[in-house]
Amino acid sequence: MSVKLAINKELFTPHDERMLAGVQVKRRTKKKIPFLATGGQGDYMTFICLSVTNKKPSHVSLTKVKQFQGSSAFVKRSQWNIDQLRQVNGIDSNKDCPEFDLMFDNGLDQWVASSAGEKCTFIQILHHTCQRYCSERKPEFINCQSKLLGGNSILHSAADSVTSAVQKASQALNERGERLGRAEERTADMMNSAEQFAVTAQKLAMKHKC
């Protein structure tokens, strides 16, 4: 089982939520730790997870999840409602890069994803989710490649693929219908010809009989 599937199963599914996207991250700038803070739990992995409730009305959240070294369990550390997200900074709109920032009402987090591709997929799904679920003030997406915000995005490509498949299936059905129609017409013509032949043959038989 992948890490993201495990996080979803352990932290979100029990609360009737589903994880839409997740990205493994590290901080670009270390937070200052108070001098009195002792007893740290050692190394850990951090994930930013995007989730939505299954019940209506839907509630979308961004959750910081950690997995400490030597443990198979995942722990929720911080959680924000999607409406608290004010800005997503992709850092560089000209190329893929792993860095990105998330600005909330109460602060700014600067992250480096485990890969540029994972970061791009996360921002892409995050943007789509904000467009769908943020009813009032949508967060600002800056310094993001256009492919992440529309156009040739994975989500749009998937939708285009589905649409194309439906169109091809419809076209195939139409062509099949046309072929069946032509076959029915040919069958009708053959039946008419057979009937006419039978009538003609009957007339000839009667004539010779007379």
- Evaluate if residue 25 carries a pLDDT over 90: yes
User: For residues 174 and 126, which has the higher predicted lDDT (pLDDT)?
Assistant: 126
- Evaluate if residue 18 carries a pLDDT over 70: yes
Most confident of 24-38, 84-98, 153-167: 84-98
What is the structure's pLDDT at 188?
66
pTM over 0.75: no
Residue ranges per structural domain of the chain = 3-150, 157-209
- Evaluate if residue 179 carries a pLDDT over 70: no
Q: Tell me the per-residue pLDDT of 185-194, one tens digit each, with 9 for 90 and over.
A: 776 676 666 6
Six token digits for residue 46: 């951090």
- Evaluate if residue 157 carries a pLDDT over 50: no
CB 48 within 8 A of CB 25: yes
What is the structure's pLDDT at 135?
77
Q: Tell me the per-residue pLDDT of 102-117, one tens digit each, with 9 for 90 and over.
A: 999 989 999 999 999 9
* Closest by CA position to 116, among listed 142, 85, 87, 91: 91
- Evaluate if residue 208 carries a pLDDT over 80: no
User: For residues 101 and 155, which has the higher predicted lDDT (pLDDT)?
Assistant: 101
* Closest by CA position to 80, among listed 65, 62, 100, 64: 62
For the chain, percent of residues with pLDDT exceeding 90: 60
CATH class of the domain at 3-150 = mainly beta
- Evaluate if residue 166 carries a pLDDT over 60: no
Q: Residue 79 and residue 53: Cα distance in Å, rounded?
A: 14
Q: Tell me the per-residue pLDDT of 139-152, one tens digit each, with 9 for 90 and over.
A: 999 999 999 997 44
**How distant, in Å, are the alpha carbons of 18, 29, 32, 38, 109 from that of 35?**
38, 18, 9, 8, 22
Q: Tell me the per-residue pLDDT of 41-59, one tens digit each, with 9 for 90 and over.
A: 569 999 999 999 999 999 9
Which position has the token pair 């129609």? 181
What is the structure's pLDDT at 29?
79
Average pLDDT, the chain: 82
